[in-house]
Amino acid sequence: MDTQEALQKKIRMRYSAKFICHRSGSYASVALDEGRPTQKKSKKAGCTASLSIECYFKEPEVYHFIPVVQEHAFHIPGDQV
């Protein structure tokens, strides 16, 4: 069952969540003391990958994984750099 089918049949959603890649966005330092050096380089890379998860009351044991943006950008998933 997809979102459109659930809307047409008026099936209520039990649970919904959206997850984004841990490398999304960019880091901007908010340190007041500019004399203190950064300890590590930020791992934020501007990745746009995200995933949506939906669960409906009709099928509470089934979770639907919907890739919103499937491809990772500017990094390889699982790399340690």
For the segment 46-66, the average pLDDT, to the nearest whole number, is 86
Residue 34: the pLDDT is 67
How far is it, in rounded angstroms, from Cα 25 to Cα 74?
11
- Phi and psi (nearest 5°) for 8? -65, -40
Asked if residue 73 has pLDDT above 70, the reply is yes
Range in 4-8, 26-30, 42-46 with the lowest mean pLDDT: 4-8
pLDDT band (50, 70, 90) for residue 33: low
Query: Is the whole-model pTM more than 0.85?
Result: no
